[in-house]
Amino acid sequence: MALTEQQKDILRHPVRWFNSAREEEIPRRELLGILLATVGQSSMFGMAGANWFFHFCTNVLMLDPKVVGAMTGAMPVFDAVVDPVVGVAIDKHQFRDGRKLVPWIRKLAIPAAFMSFLLFVNWNIQGAAFKAVYCIGIYLLWDILYSFLNTSLLGLTAAISPHSGQRVRAVQWLDIGVLIGSFFPELLNPFLSGTEGNGSFGLSQEQIYLLFAALMCLGGGFLLLSVTGAKERITATQGAPRNPFSLIFNVLRHNHVLLLFMVVDLVRAASPYVSEPYVYQQVFYKVGDKTIPAAALMTVFMILAGLPGASLKLFATKVIERVGSMKRVLILAAITDIVTRAVACAIGIGSIPRLVLVYVCETVSNIPWGVYGIAQRAMISDSVDYVEWKTGQRTEGVTMSARSLTGKLSAGLRRLVMGFCLDFIQYKPENVKLGVPQNAHCQKWAWPIYKLGTACGAAVSLVPLLLINYPDSLKMKVESELAQRRAVASMAVGAAAAQAEE
């Protein structure tokens, strides 16, 4: 098929295409910067903030799962203090270039990357208590830095354009970056699935973790710097109040969209759960005279199952328009997740054909789920406008720090629950070290908890999803009136400047 003149022009001048944009559009180079920065951030969080840190503590540092669950589950208590402070600090501070979000990323990306790398260094510290203290200390330092980074990057999607349609584009590129960045740490699964407690290629699990931490954490920190050229095109019609509690109060009082999403995430995190390594790494298949670990096949199937949903992210705005609203997309994704998890649980992974069917279910679930994150983040970005409409104050910092806090509370709560679930199924990390199978009780319960536990959480989360009420008609009204207010404020500033010159 012949190329159009526009396509030929793009191929002839790719740099110019990335730098150009129609009026009121976000330049593509800024969208690409958001994409790359989110890949880096998600890679870093996929290692340090997700379940791999838990697995490293149990299987490399040999800490008791209950201790790790309590340790990581208690860390969000610290976040409950730090994240609101971070949000207020961002909202109340403006840098010399007029921006309040991006400069934080430029300053803190590399220190955060280094701290996350240190989480996966085994210094051979003697004594479980000293190991736990080291892990907690480094994690808390990383957590403070990451809070600034995550809040600033998420807040940028609300400040990068005054037009909701353009903000959806920014969220779309950010969500694609989340997908790509969160995929890379999952490659740990096949690398860790060796024999006799070792990983692949003759490397120990400790060496594999160190290698991946260097790539995901340090590399992710440098990728975060890709967003430092982005512009913040919205300024508040009035300054932040002196009392920081006013900012927090405004968000809690007026931002019901954010509050309901926080409930959704916490409900899902409180459901019974064990992560993939504890399920798939104890399953092996005999094919002739060869033994194939389920974890290796799972990684391949996970990529294939994720392709339809990932592809749908490219057409997210059209999908949302076709479904009818962002809220409907969220509800459809939750219902599909419930049904497919229940079916997959009934199928099981006792053979390779069953594993294939399980990932057929995963594929079906991932189709609406591919747009879920975009719809959720876009609605939260739009909610910043609503708070400004009500109060005159821009609260990207407090809003996104609350979002970040919820994510970390959810991760901590999930790890706490997972610690108790692993204790319930009698999982023994020393068996992995010795290359010995887990007991029958563990093999019986790991799979149904992994699938049905999350399905129960998704079912309960439907209640707050149904309560969300921010229709497009109200959103357009808010956007229009804010545009008028900003125009009046801009004219007032111009008049004051002209009068000062006279």
pTM score over 0.85: no
* Residue, of 370 and 21, whose pLDDT is higher: 370
pLDDT at 497: 64
Q: What's the pLDDT band for 196 if we cut at 50, 70, 90? A: very low
Sequence-distant (6+) residues with CB within 8 A of 271 are 417, 453, 454, 456, 457, 458, 460
- Residue 40's nearest CA partner among 180, 155, 156 is 180
Question: How far from chain centre, in Å, is Cα 185?
Answer: 13
Give the start-to-end residue ranges of the domains of the chain. Answer: 32-489
pLDDT at 200: 60
Contact between 464 and 263 (Cβ < 8 Å): yes
pLDDT at 195: 45
Q: List, for residues 297-346, the tens digit of each pLDDT value.
A: 877 887 888 888 888 888 888 888 888 888 999 999 999 999 999 999 99
Rounded to whole angstroms, the Cα distance separating 487 from 149 reads 31
CATH class label, 32-489: mainly alpha
Ranking 179-183, 346-350, 404-408, 496-500 by mean pLDDT, the lowest is 496-500
In angstroms, what CA-CA distances link 299 with 181, 305, 356?
A: 15, 10, 12
Q: List, for residues 70-117, the tens digit of each pLDDT value.
A: 877 777 777 777 888 888 888 888 888 778 899 999 999 999 999 999
Rounded to whole angstroms, the Cα distance separating 34 from 158 reads 13
Ranking 15-24, 33-42, 99-108, 307-316 by mean pLDDT, the lowest is 15-24
Contact between 189 and 299 (Cβ < 8 Å): yes
pLDDT at 81: 79
Share of the chain above pLDDT 70, in %: 89
Rounded to whole angstroms, the Cα distance separating 337 from 283 reads 24
Q: What's the pLDDT band for 361 if we cut at 50, 70, 90? A: very high
HSE-CB of 74 using CA atoms within 13 angstroms? 11
Rounded to whole angstroms, the Cα distance separating 59 from 428 reads 10
Q: What's the pLDDT band for 23 if we cut at 50, 70, 90? A: low
b/e code 105-124 from CB counts within 10 Å (16+ = b): bbebbebbbebbbbbbebee
| Identity of the residue numbered 89 | A
Task: Provide the β-strand partners of residue 291.
Answer: 286
Please state the φ and ψ torsions of residue 292, each to the nearest 5 degrees. Answer: -110, 120
Task: Name the region of 436 (left: φ>0; alpha: ψ -120 to 50; beta: rest).
Answer: beta
pLDDT at 297: 80
Q: What's the pLDDT band for 13 if we cut at 50, 70, 90? A: very low
Sequence-distant (6+) residues with CB within 8 A of 275 are 51, 54, 55, 418, 450
- Residue 327's nearest CA partner among 368, 261, 375, 380 is 375
Please state the φ and ψ torsions of residue 50, each to the nearest 5 degrees. Answer: -105, -160
- Residue 143's nearest CA partner among 57, 218, 216, 81 is 81
Mean pLDDT of 163-188: 88
In angstroms, what CA-CA distances link 292 with 193, 280, 297, 352?
A: 10, 11, 8, 10
